[in-house]
């Protein structure tokens, strides 16, 4: 919803899409996340439902982590111990990174049938997030799918805006691999 709203505001030019906004969104989208689950497992404290309950009681974190319900936590098995503070920091970084990716996606979706000068670089930045954790990955896939749908008709004209390397990356992302190849 936030991506769609921001996209509309950018498309109607209520918010100018200048280089400072692009830089801010790119910086947000490059927030560092731990590379593997092992990086979260650094302390000897065990993460349990009691910790989630304590965290959910804190009004500060409640809007960001509604998925930490008692049912979800009983279904999840956290085999490696890690501290609650590191987990909260990880989720805060994930929210920050997702906000940046949503902003970049809004920039792409604000020009549905056109390729402005800034779009190829933002598409390349989004392609770097295709293997991120789930909320980010789905956002990138939906954005690339929508980009392909809206730019398919005039692709011969739009492809002139991209370099050869960018076209190669986009082709790998947008075209499904052949099953029989």
Phi, psi of 88 (to 5 degrees): -65, -40
Q: What are the tens digits of pLDDT across the range 15-62?
A: 988 999 999 999 988 888 876 554 444 443 334 434 444 444 444 444
Task: Give the whole-angstrom CA distance, residue 112 versus residue 95.
Answer: 26
CA distances from residue 122 to 27, 50, 117 in whole angstroms, order as listed: 12, 42, 10
Give the chain's largest Cα–Cα span.
58
In the chain, % of residues over pLDDT 90? 38
Q: In the 8-state DSSP scheme, what is residue 162?
A: S
User: pLDDT category, 100, cuts 50, 70, 90?
Assistant: very high
Instruction: Report the mean per-residue pLDDT for the chain.
Output: 77
Q: Are the CB atoms for 139 and 97 separated by under 8 Å?
A: no
Q: What are the tens digits of pLDDT across the range 106-147?
A: 999 999 999 999 999 999 999 999 988 888 999 999 999 999
- CA angle centred on 52, ends 130 and 133, rounded to 5°: 5
CA distances from residue 54 to 49, 94, 105 in whole angstroms, order as listed: 9, 21, 34
Torsion of CA 75, 81, 85, 91, to 10 degrees: -50
Of 147 and 68, the one with more pLDDT:
147
Nearest to 155 by CA among 119, 123, 114: 114
């Amino acid at each position: 919803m936030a991506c769609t709203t921001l996209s509309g505001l950018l498309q109607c030019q209520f918010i100018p899409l200048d280089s400072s906004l692009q830089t801010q969104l790119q910086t947000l989208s490059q927030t560092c996340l731990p590379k593997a689950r092992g990086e979260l497992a650094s302390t000897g404290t065990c993460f349990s439902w009691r910790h989630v309950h304590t965290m959910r009681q804190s009004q500060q974190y409640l809007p960001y982590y509604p998925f930490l319900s008692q049912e979800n936590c009983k279904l999840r098995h956290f085999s490696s111990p890690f501290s609650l503070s590191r987990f909260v920091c990880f989720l805060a970084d994930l929210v920050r990174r997702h906000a940046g990716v949503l902003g970049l996606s809004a920039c792409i979706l604000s020009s549905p049938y056109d390729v402005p000068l800034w779009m190829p670089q933002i598409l390349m930045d989004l392609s770097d997030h295709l293997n991120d954790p789930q909320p980010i990955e789905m956002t990138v896939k939906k954005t690339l799918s929508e980009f392909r749908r809206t730019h398919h008709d005039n692709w011969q004209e739009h492809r002139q805006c991209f370099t050869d390397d960018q076209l190669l990356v986009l082709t790998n992302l947008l075209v499904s691999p052949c099953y029989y190849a």
